Amino acid sequence: MGTSVLSLRIDGELLERLRDHAAKRGMSVQDYVIRTLIRDDFDERFQSAVDETEKFYGVT
């Protein structure tokens, strides 16, 4: 399997929150984000967030 680059543009406040969470675990922001994405329950949590967002904006 090869590798790819993912580039994100995020709000400064969100970046600070990510830095805080990562620092509490002694990790870089990049490592923290990757660790979060590979968690077993990420797919379920992501789908739940998408459903709630769609509900909020009246998409569904």
| pLDDT score for 60 | 59
Q: Return the domain boundaries, the chain.
A: 29-59
**Sequence-distant (≥ 6) Cβ neighbours of residue 51 within 8 angstroms:** 60
| pLDDT score for 13 | 95
| pLDDT score for 24 | 97
**Sequence-distant (≥ 6) Cβ neighbours of residue 21 within 8 angstroms:** 32
Task: Give the residue ranges of the chain where pLDDT is below 50.
Answer: none
